[in-house]
Structure 1
Amino acid sequence: MIVLITGASHTGKTVLAQKLLEKYKYPYLSIDHLKMGLIRSGRTDLTPLSEDSDLTEYLWPVVREMIKTAIENRQNLIVEGCYIPFDWEKDFEKAYLADIRYYCLVMSERYIQTHFSEIKKYASIIEDRLDDEYCTLDRVLEENARVLELAQKNNANYILIDDEYKVTINL
């Protein structure tokens, strides 16, 4: 089984992937790690500050083919990151889709307004964020509103974090 976890920055994608790894023993791929490996190795002119759409366009074809390979080899894999396009299903034949579960994490405006200090506090719980200056209340609100709109527009499976942060996925 392939588990795709996406959503806006700071929604807990990596934490959820880590919890699933611990519970189910499925390995996970952080698309951010792939991104940084390609950037640091000089394999791309993109930077960590490049537009998300440019990064998605560059990274998704590689990730997509890794997913197909894992399915063909009957391997489990969790893939997490914000570079999974909302129309990801178009890239897979029906036989592949049967083995893929997709989850998009979205925080409500109310949750963000009420819990922003916690969002900042837990930002580096799994990976150290060297520069988290861009994580402002306005930006988190804007990104989550955009992701929610796109998830709804694309009929994507999303988990809305509204009252408290309780995200669980049973495989």
Structure 2
Amino acid sequence: MKDGKSPNPNDIHPIAGYDKEVYVKPTITNPNIIVGDFTYIADSEFESHVTNFYPWSKDKLIIKFICLAMTDAYIDAHFHEIKKYGSVIESRLDDTDCKIDSLKKDNRIYIEGYARSGEQVTLIDTDYNPTIQTLFHG
């Protein structure tokens, strides 16, 4: 987030000039598919992959947005891993200029923006895996 602006959940392409990742919600046409703001995927044809989901059915597909963010302590301890796997997770453009201080600043902007929007923010403090396990298994 180089310009310091919060993301807009109604933009299909959250990164200007980069169409590989899209916010899912603004692409959905089926009212029975419910998607949380800011849910993203590296596929602009998400809805076409929803199979066995018929218009006459009363079924609903609900995809919840989960906001994971890192504490400064986690960034300090895992910065090299974050950079190493960034393209695997988020298909980043070019993060060769990514520095620890700018990552922390961007991370805080996201945390504050999502919190202002009423979204729950789950912080990863010391270890990623237990945080994920808690989200999905309680």
TM-score interval (norm. to shorter): 0.5 to 0.7
2:17 aligned partner: 47
Q: Which has the higher contact order (CA 8 A, sep 6+)?
A: 1
Alpha-carbon RMSD? 3.7
CA distance in 2, matches of 1:104, 1:130: 21
TM-score normalised to the size of structure 1? 0.45
In structure 2, which of residues 6, 22, 40 is the aligned counterpart of residue 80 of structure 1?
40
> In the superposition, relative to structure 1, how do residues 130 and 152 fare at CA in structure 2: closer, same or farther (>3 Å)?
closer
Pairing of 1:83-98 with structure 2 (within 5 A): none
TM-score normalised to the size of structure 2? 0.53
1:66 aligned partner: 27
Output one character per residue of 1:33-91: Cα deviation in whole Å (capped at 9) or x when no partner. Answer: x749xx9xxxxxx424xxxxxx9xxx65xx4343352x5369xxxx426xxxxxxxxxx
1:20 aligned partner: none
Q: State percent identity of aligned pairs.
A: 31
1:28 aligned partner: none
> How many matched pairs?
100
> In the superposition, relative to structure 1, how do residues 124 and 105 fare at CA in structure 2: closer, same or farther (>3 Å)?
same
* More helix as a share of residues: 1
- The alignment partner of 1:102 has SS state of coil
> In the superposition, relative to structure 1, how do residues 72 and 65 fare at CA in structure 2: closer, same or farther (>3 Å)?
farther
Pairing of 1:13-162 with structure 2 (within 5 A): 35=13, 46-48=16-18, 63-69=24-30, 71-72=31-32, 79-80=39-40, 99-125=62-88, 129=92, 131-162=94-125
Instruction: In structure 1, list runs of 5 or more residues that go unmatched.
Output: 1-7, 9-33, 40-45, 49-54, 82-96
Contact preservation (8 Å) 2:69, 2:123 = yes
Instruction: In structure 2, list runs of 5 or more residues that go unmatched.
Output: 2-11, 42-59
One-letter identity of the residue aligned with 2:40: E
Contact preservation (8 Å) 2:66, 2:120 = yes
CA distance in 2, matches of 1:155, 1:146: 14
Contact preservation (8 Å) 1:106, 1:148 = yes
